[in-house]
Structures are given as C-alpha cells and as structure tokens.
Amino acid sequence: MITGGSSGIGLSVAHDVARRGASVTLVARNVSRLEKAQQEVELTMSKLSMDGKVQFFSSDISGSVKNISEMVKNAEASLGPVYMLINCAGFARAQKFEDLSPDLMKQMLDINFTGPMVLTQEVVRGMKVQQEGGVVVFVSSQAGLLGLYGFSAYSASKAAIVRAAEALHMELKPHNISVTVCYPPDTDTPGFVEENQTKPIETKLISEAAGLFKPEEVAKKLVDDSLCGAWSSTVGLEGFMLTTLCAGMGPITDAASFMAQVFLSGLFRSVSAFYLWSFTRIVEREHKKRLENKKSE
C-alpha cells in the first residue's frame, strides 16, 4: 500500500515494487491522477509479464479515522493483507516563520504527521494479527533532520514522524515488522515543482546543497533499504553524512551504518560547520540584497 502513489516519489515506488512482483494499492485524493497512475503501473507489470494487480482508493489520509479504517478494510478484502506500507503522501510549503499561517502549519502537521500515524495504526493492527511480519516505511525528508530557512513547520512535521517511527520500531520488533524512515533530498517531482513556485530564494539555495535527485533513484533506494530492514534510507553524499551525524538514539539495524556512526560522527560534525557557515552566508547575502533593493526603491 502506497500513499501518495499517484505522483512523484510514491508513483516511482509503485513502479519499482511492481517490477519486483508485488500487487499494489495506491492511495491519494485526486481520482484522475490515480486512474492514470494505475494504468501506468499496470503497463509496467504487463511488460514484464507480472501477474500483480493494481487497485486505487481515493482517500484523504488526514480525513476521518472511520474513512481510513474502511479504506484499509476494503483494500485488504480485495488484495489480501498489506505486507508493506509506504507512507509517502505529504507536501511542503516554504514560508518565512512570521508569514506562516496557523492553517498551513496545521495542514502540514495533519498530512505529514497525523495522517501517516492514523493509517499506520490501522495497517499495523492487521499485520500483528497475521503474525507473518511486514514492513512499514515513512517518507520524512532531509529537512526532518535539521531545521532550515523557510521550513519551520515543514521540518517540524517531518521530524515528528521520525520520533514516532523510532518508538514504533521498538514496539514492532517482536512482531517481525520492520520500520524504515526515508530522508529524500530535493527530488524532481510534480510536488517539488509546485513548492518551488512560492519558495524563498534562501530555502532554494540551502536545499541545493544536498543536490537534486530523480524520484526513481530515491524510490529504488527506499525499497532496497526497507526490504533489508534498514532503519534509514537516503541518497547522495550529503544524505549519508546527515543521517550518520543525526543517528542519535535511533535503532541499530546493520553493522556498516553503525560503524560509520561510531567513527565518522565527529568528522561529520566538523564538516557540518562548513555547511552551516555557507547557509549563514546565503541568508546574510539575501538579506543585504533586500535592504539594498528597498533603499533604491
């Protein structure tokens, strides 16, 4: 089951798991985008002669618990128990702190945090009863590992889901259900194009430090990592440094990541000083530019 499966990273995940033989349930709100995604994923399956099925449900993950619960029941009635849940639906709006409306703050928390929590509750109940195990994935963001200019509410919503996932990881261990958090950098998706229309220049320039990736690449890494039971998944050098530096009290799922955290955290903290310095320079430069523009007006 993939929320946000009709676009961007979620749609790429759908193609990826379809190629590996899975049947897929896509969840999003807009029906015509869902229909289009269903056809595309079916095509991927038929090209490889896979006999998986693709179904979709139009549902708002931040909607009523009753609707979410019914959606999960219906999905499982037709395609069987959910083995893998990928919480990808979400959105970002960048705005200077004092310009953020309470409505937008609430919307980001509802869709990026509360929605995935509620849906995961519904799915996990089923996974536990079936006792065969399962995989839960939350798509956070590199901006969930640090707060950055313009992303106060967004970063908070994406950080909140990480702490929740940590707790859930501990709870689900005995049930053979793994939990993975994915931290994408900027990724070339329809959602990214939309957020860029209103993004402050500072947010844009700071985010660029981690590069721009293709959704297919983020999706493949997400599926590979989560099927291995890895706690975290990311792409790129900055992604590696950031997840290593921010490992904190997160679960230890593989020796290589643990060793990297033990031996490289000090070094990466030093490296972070250079990034932070360059971010401060961006913010100060743009601030000065604005002041000068005002003066000349």
Ligand X SMILES: NC(=O)C1=CN([C@@H]2O[C@H](COP(=O)(O)OP(=O)(O)OC[C@H]3O[C@@H](n4cnc5c(N)ncnc54)[C@H](OP(=O)(O)O)[C@@H]3O)[C@@H](O)[C@H]2O)C=CC1
Q: How many CB atoms lie within 10 A of CB 163?
A: 13
Check if 288 is active-site: no
Check if 214 is active-site: no
Using CB under 6 A as the binding rule, whether residue 33 contacts ligand X is answered as yes
Torsion (CA) 24, 165, 120, 7 in degrees, nearest 10: -40
Of 62, 158, 183, 199, which is the active-site residue? Answer: 158
Query: Is the CB of 33 or the CB of 199 nearer to ligand VSD?
Result: 199
Using CB under 6 A as the binding rule, whether residue 258 contacts ligand VSD is answered as no
DSSP codes, 221-283: HHHHHHHTT-SEEE-HHHHHHHHHHT-TT-----HHHHHHHHHHHHHHHHHHHHHHHHHHHHH
Name which of ligand X, ligand VSD, none residue 6 binds, using a CB cut-off of 5 to 8 Å depending on partner kind.
ligand X
Using CB under 6 A as the binding rule, whether residue 205 contacts ligand VSD is answered as no
Considering only 35, 42, 60, 166, the residue that binds ligand X (CB under 6 A) is: 60
Using CB under 6 A as the binding rule, whether residue 89 contacts ligand X is answered as yes
Instruction: Report which residue type is found at 11.
Output: L
Q: How far is the CB of 157 from ligand X (least distance, A)?
A: 9
The DSSP secondary-structure symbol of 174 reads: G
Considering only residues 80 to 139 of the shown chain, the ones binding ligand VSD according to CB under 6 A are 92
Q: Find how far residue 292's CA is from the centre of its chain.
A: 38
Check if 140 is active-site: yes
Which residues, at least 6 apart from 171, have a Cβ–Cβ distance to it below 8 Å? none
Q: Which residues are catalytic?
A: 140, 154, 158
**Residues contributing to the site for ligand X (CB under 6 A):** 3-4, 6-10, 27-30, 33, 60-62, 88-92, 111, 115, 139, 141, 184, 186-187, 189-192
